[in-house]
């Protein structure tokens, strides 16, 4: 199948962080470091998350670290 428009054959890299909010609903104020957990379909067709990083090369070298901080 042909790729949809605006797809260049590079997979998206997906990042995640585990964030635990206490029972009172308080949001932790410390930064969380996101980790690469997989990638999307290089053709943009399936919408699936592929939990594999071995096929990614330079995409994992582009960013040294990604952090997020939540605020109330």
Contact residues for 35 (Cβ-Cβ < 8 A; gap 6+): 15, 16, 17
What is the C-alpha separation between 40 and 33, in angstroms, rounded?
A: 20
What pLDDT, on a 0 to 100 scale, did the predictor assign at position 34? 95
How many residues in total does the chain contain?
Answer: 72
Half-sphere exposure of residue 49: CA atoms within 13 angstroms, side-chain side: 8
pLDDT per position as a tens digit, 21-64: 888 888 888 899 999 999 988 777 788 888 988 888 888 888 89
Residue 9 pLDDT exceeds 90: no
Q: What is the pLDDT of residue 22?
A: 81
pLDDT higher than threshold 50 for residue 1: no
Please report which confidence band the pLDDT of residue 8 belongs to, taking 50, 70 and 90 as the band edges: low
What is the value of pTM for the model shown? 0.71
């Amino acid at each position: 199948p042909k790729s949809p428009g605006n797809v260049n054959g590079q997979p998206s890299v997906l990042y995640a962080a585990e964030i635990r909010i206490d029972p009172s609903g308080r949001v932790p104020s410390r930064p969380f470091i996101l980790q690469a957990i997989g990638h999307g379909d290089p053709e943009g067709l399936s919408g699936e998350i592929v939990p594999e990083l071995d096929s990614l090369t330079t995409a994992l070298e582009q960013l040294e670290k990604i952090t997020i901080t939540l605020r109330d």
